[in-house]
């Protein structure tokens, strides 16, 4: 049974959207937070109104890029957490995975987390784009995902769900703040930063028991 016209149009729109996001990625890799809608449209070989038709404004484009990169980062973090290592090694591997991601693609990180004085903004005159308004949900998503992993793998007693969410968001906040500072100042090698952060976590986390029958942490 063949596809319908509607299915063909939906598939074509999704493919075009992927192509536009790839063009946006290329511009962001070159220009970082200063990437403009004009530059992205030019890279894609279209006019800015067509770009707006797909994403609405820079906020819409930002959210689409954030989902794209957050999905990839979450997959890498879960792979690090699932690796057959002891708990300390998995914690260090997870921290290193996050830090390696922002080190390998600093322009993408800055675009997602930091506004630029000359960057585009909302639709229309492209002024007033608030990156913080959109980066907060990205960090919350990372925190919730990490909380799920902690709740699945550690026996934290009667307050397990609450503690897992506190720890998940706390660890993501620590990684984000420490990684942001480290990326700007480079006070030490990445490996050393990973060790320092793992040492900070190595209190009750190290002492908590694994859930019976669970995959362990």
Per-domain boundaries in the chain: 58-210
Asked whether 217 and 207 are in contact (CB, 8 A), the reply is no
Quick one: pLDDT at residue 43?
94
Region of residue 45 (left: phi > 0; alpha: psi -120 to 50; beta: else): left
Helices (H) and strands (E) in the chain, counts: 10, 2
Q: What is the pTM of this model?
A: 0.77
| CB count in 10 Å sphere of residue 53 | 10
How does 14-38 read in b/e, with b if 16+ C-beta sit within 10 Å? eeeeeebbebbbebbeebbbbbbbe
Q: Tell me how far the alpha carbon of residue 118 is from its chain's centroid.
A: 23
Instruction: HSE, CB side, 13 Å, CA atoms: give it for residue 180.
Output: 11
Q: What is the arithmetic mean of pLDDT over 100-110? A: 90
Q: Which of 115, 137, 135 is nearest to 126 (CA)?
A: 115
Instruction: State which fold the 58-210 domain adopts.
Output: Tetracycline Repressor; domain 2 (1.10.357)
Quick one: pLDDT at residue 116?
54
What is the per-residue pLDDT across 182-200, written as a single tens digit (0 to 9) for each? 999 999 999 999 999 999 8
């Amino acid at each position: 049974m063949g596809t319908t016209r509607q299915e063909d149009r939906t598939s074509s729109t999704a493919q075009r959207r992927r192509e536009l996001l790839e063009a946006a990625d290329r511009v962001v890799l070159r220009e970082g937070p200063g990437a403009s809608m004009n530059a992205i449209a030019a890279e894609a070989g279209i006019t800015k109104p067509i770009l707006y038709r797909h994403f609405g404004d820079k906020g819409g484009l930002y959210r689409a890029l954030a989902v794209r990169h957050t999905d990839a980062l979450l997959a890498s973090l879960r792979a690090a957490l699932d690796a057959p290592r002891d708990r300390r090694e998995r914690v260090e591997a997870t921290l290193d995975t996050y830090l390696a991601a922002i080190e390998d693609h600093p322009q993408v990180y800055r675009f997602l987390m930091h506004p630029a004085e000359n960057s585009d903004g909302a639709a229309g005159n492209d002024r007033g784009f608030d990156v913080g308004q959109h980066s907060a949900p990205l960090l919350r998503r990372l925190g919730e995902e990490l909380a799920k992993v902690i709740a699945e793998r550690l026996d934290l007693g009667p307050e397990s769900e609450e503690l897992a969410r506190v720890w998940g968001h706390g660890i993501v906040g620590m990684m984000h703040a420490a990684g942001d500072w480290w990326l700007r100042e480079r006070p030490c090698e990445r490996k050393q930063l990973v060790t320092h952060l793992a040492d900070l976590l190595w209190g009750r986390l190290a002492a908590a028991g694994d859930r019976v029958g669970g995959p362990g942490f």
